[in-house]
Amino acid sequence: MSSRRNFLQQLAASVIAFPLIPADASLLHGNRDKETYDGPPLRVAILGLGSYGTRVAEAMKDCKRARLTGIVSGTPSKITAWQQKYGIPEKNCYNYQNFDSIKDNPDIDVVYVITPNSLHKDFSIRAAKAGKHVICEKPMAINAKEGQEMVAACKKANVKLLVGYRMHFEPKTLEIIRMRKDGELGKIMFFQGLSGFVAGDPNQWRLNKALAGGGAMMDIGIYSINGARYMVGEEPVWVTAQETKTNPEKFKPGVDETIQFQMGFPSGAVASCLSTYNMNNLDRFFLNGSKGYAELQPATGYGPIKGKTNKGELTQPHMTHQTVQMDEMAGIILDGKQPIVPVDGEEGVRDLKIIDAIYEAVKTGKKVVLK
């Protein structure tokens, strides 16, 4: 772990920056096994072979439209292990130094960047310059400025930039969004988002500001930010925020432990949220309207998601989030389909602008108006 961490720190310091399909009801509501697809698959290279990269690779075994065809890693032993496990040919394996030569590989359509946050921008831009579409884990960058640079680079290279918002394809989540859009909940008045867990190892990259770009807000708090936006159906116009830090040795300057934050929306709806690395059992969304309510708990975990509304329990079946995500993203990239909730780079920048504003509100103690 130590050598891996040191390598990533050196890489972060040295890497040079280069200048909803409308959800198919059968796909998202339980009949995936009956779906067939005979067209060309989306050929994916995963960059960053850690725990989440492994989760995505395993989920892709069940994909109908996306296939793992390449890997990129700074750890030679991981490349060897993944080659054997997933049958990746040597010509489709890259390290962080020769990665740019991926431009000459016709077996790869898209690079999925799954590294520590501070490395997202540079690897995404390198992939775009190599002519490959980009899927980037969230947060897509460490601030909105970097996110906008990624969007601009992908537009210039004429490739798509998507962000790994797996919840945007989750059936119970989409049902609540449908109910809100159809007016079944009435006028939306309040959202609560609780996102947190106890971060264990004090030496993990998530507690290293140079790699993570912050603390809990960058990792888990973004779920409540993003959730508030798609649940309320509006963009916030102001934020306020307060930070609590009980363990300054573990949570160094610039690494937030707990932040409570509030958001206001144009309609008058308000959101009250909590982001923390110091409390477990916090994964809940609650949406309240004049005619009804909706609740998800757990709301964003790997599943199964559980939920209810004023009309009763939500019963949409659980499917592996990353499997559905990758198949849906294949439709976006290959067919130009539009998801119910956006997953493009602009969507990622919107979340980053709010995170920037939350950190500013913590620092100043003032309400920050969002433009």
Q: Which residues pair with 288 in a beta bridge?
A: 190, 293
Amino acid at 320: T
Helix axes 51-60, 321-335, angle to 10 degrees: 70
Backbone φ, ψ for residue 244 (5° rounding)? -125, 130
Q: Which of 64, 121, 132, 138 is catalytic?
A: 138
Rg (CA), the chain: 20
Distances (CA, A) of 278 to 215, 245, 290, 354, 358: 11, 9, 34, 22, 19
Please state, in angstroms and rounded to a whole number, the distance separating the CA atoms of residues 119 and 145: 14
CA 222 to chain centre: 8
Q: Is 37 among the catalytic positions?
A: no
Q: Which of 94, 223, 230, 359 is catalytic?
A: 223
Backbone φ, ψ for residue 308 (5° rounding)? -150, 160
Helix runs in the chain, H state only: 2-14, 25-28, 51-60, 76-86, 120-129, 144-156, 171-181, 209-212, 216, 222-232, 321-335, 345-364
> Which residues lie below 8 Å from residue 195, measured CB to CB, with a gap of 6+?
216, 220, 221, 222, 223, 224, 273, 274, 275, 276, 282, 283, 300
Please state, in angstroms and rounded to a whole number, the distance separating the CA atoms of residues 288 and 245: 30
Q: Is 209 among the catalytic positions?
A: no
Q: Which residues pair with 77 in a beta bridge?
A: none
Cβ-count burial 297-310 (b if 16+ within 10 Å, e if not) = bbbbeeeebebebe
Positive or negative CA dihedral for 66, 90, 51, 252?
negative
Report the side by side order of strands in the sheet with 258-264.
312-313, 307-309, 293-296, 282-289, 188-196, 270-276, 258-264, 238-244, 368-369
Report residue 363 as tokens.
Answer: 């620092």
**Catalytic residue numbers, as ranges:** 138, 223
